[in-house]
Structure 1
Amino acid sequence: MGFHTFDAEQAARLEDAAERYRYCSREELLGMLAPDPAAVVADLGSGTGFYADDVAPHVGTLHAVDVQPAMHDYYRQKSARDERAERGATEPGLPANVDLVAADVGDLPFADDALDGAYGTMTFHEFADDASVAELARVCRPGARLALVDWSAAGAGETGPPLSERYEADDAAAMLAGAGFDVDRADERVETLAVTATR
Structure 2
Amino acid sequence: MGHHTFDADRADKLEDAGRRYRYVSGEELLWALAPDPDDTVADLGSGTGFFTDVVAPHADTIYAVDIQAAMHDHYAEKGLPDNVEPVTTGIEELPFEDGSIDGAFSTMTYHEFASDDALGEIQRVLTDSGRLAIVDWSGEGLGEHGPPLDERYTVETVSEKLRERGFTIEHAFTRPETFLLVATIE
TM-score, structure 1 as length reference = 0.92
SS in 2 for 1:145: strand
Aligned length: 185
Determine if the alignment matches structure 1 residue 101 to structure 2 residue 87.
yes
Q: Residue 179 of structure 2 aligns with which residue?
A: 193
Determine if the alignment matches structure 1 residue 131 to structure 2 residue 117.
yes
Matched ranges for 1:47-62 at <5 A:
47-62=47-62
Determine if the alignment matches structure 1 residue 170 to structure 2 residue 159.
no
Determine if the alignment matches structure 1 residue 159 to structure 2 residue 148.
no
Q: Residue 78 of structure 2 aligns with which residue?
A: 78
Deviates more, 1:177-186 or 1:28-37: 177-186
- Find the aligned partners of 1:182 and 1:134 in 2 and give their Cα distance: 14
Name the amino acid aligned to 2:19.
E
Q: Residue 98 of structure 2 aligns with which residue?
A: 112
- Find the aligned partners of 1:140 and 1:128 in 2 and give their Cα distance: 17
After superposition, the C-alpha distances for 1:92-148 in whole angstroms (9 at most, x for unaligned) are xx2110000001001100010010000000000001111110110000011111000
Name the amino acid aligned to 2:49.
G
- Find the aligned partners of 2:181 and 2:61 in 1 and give their Cα distance: 23
Shift of residue 4, structure 1, vs aligned partner: 1.3
TM-score, structure 2 as length reference = 0.98
Name the amino acid aligned to 1:96.
D
Q: Residue 83 of structure 1 aligns with which residue?
A: none
Moved >3 Å (runs of 4+):
none
> Structure 1: 5+ residue runs without aligned partners?
80-93
SS in 1 for 2:142: coil
Name the amino acid aligned to 1:67.
I
Shift of residue 49, structure 1, vs aligned partner: 0.4
- Find the aligned partners of 1:2 and 1:66 in 2 and give their Cα distance: 14
> Structure 2: 5+ residue runs without aligned partners?
none
**Percent identity of paired positions between Structure 1 and Structure 2:** 55
SS in 2 for 1:184: strand
Q: Residue 167 of structure 2 aligns with which residue?
A: 181
Greater Rg by CA: 1
Shift of residue 56, structure 1, vs aligned partner: 0.2
Q: Residue 15 of structure 2 aligns with which residue?
A: 15
- Find the aligned partners of 1:34 and 1:183 in 2 and give their Cα distance: 15
SS in 1 for 2:172: strand
